[in-house]
Amino acid sequence: MASKSLREKLMRVKWIKKLLRALPTLLRLHIKYFENRKYTIRILKKEERKEKKQMQFPKSIAILFVGTGIYFNYFGEFYENIKRNFLPEIPKKFFVFTDKDFKENEDVERVKIPDEKIYAILRYLGDIPKIKNLKNFEYVIKMDADLVVPEPISSAEFFYHNKPLFGVRHPYFLCRQGSFEISPKSKAAVSPREDLSEYIQCCFWGGKTNYVVKMVKEMYKNIKIDLNNGIIARIFDESYLNKYFISNKPLFYVYPPNYAYPDVPIPEKLKKKILHVTNKRFKVNYQKK
CATH classification of the domain holding 269 = 3.90.550.10
Mean pLDDT over the full length of the chain: 88
Instruction: Please check whether residue 130 lies inside any domain of the structure.
Output: yes
Burial (CB count <10 Å: 0-12, 13-18, 19+), residue 133: exposed
Instruction: Please check whether residue 208 lies inside any domain of the structure.
Output: yes
Number of compact structural domains in the chain: 1
Instruction: Please check whether residue 285 lies inside any domain of the structure.
Output: no
Please give the sequence-ordered ranges of beta strands (E in DSSP) within the chain, or none if there are none: 61-66, 92-98, 108-112, 139-143, 147-148, 165-168, 204-208, 252-255, 275-276
Instruction: Please check whether residue 150 lies inside any domain of the structure.
Output: yes
Structural domain for 269, as ranges: 58-178+198-212+253-276
Question: Up-side HSE of residue 25: CA atoms within 13 Å toward CB?
Answer: 8
Q: Could you give the angle at the alpha carbon of 168 between the alpha carbons of 65 and 71, nearest 5°?
A: 25
Q: How high is the pLDDT of residue 4?
A: 52
Instruction: Please check whether residue 112 lies inside any domain of the structure.
Output: yes
Average pLDDT, 10 consecutive residues per value, the chain (289 residues): 52 54 62 78 88 95 96 94 98 97 94 92 95 96 96 97 98 92 96 96 98 98 97 96 98 97 80 80 40
Q: How high is the pLDDT of residue 285?
A: 39
Q: How high is the pLDDT of residue 288?
A: 42
Q: How high is the pLDDT of residue 17?
A: 53
Dihedral of the CA atoms 283, 285, 286, 289 (nearest 10)?
-100
Q: How high is the pLDDT of residue 82?
A: 98
Q: How high is the pLDDT of residue 21?
A: 59
Instruction: Please check whether residue 206 lies inside any domain of the structure.
Output: yes
CA distance 219 to 222: 5
Instruction: Please check whether residue 38 lies inside any domain of the structure.
Output: no
Instruction: Please check whether residue 108 lies inside any domain of the structure.
Output: yes
CA distance 177 to 172: 9
Output the DSSP codes for 119-148: IIIIIHHHHGGGSTTGGGSSEEEEE-TTEE
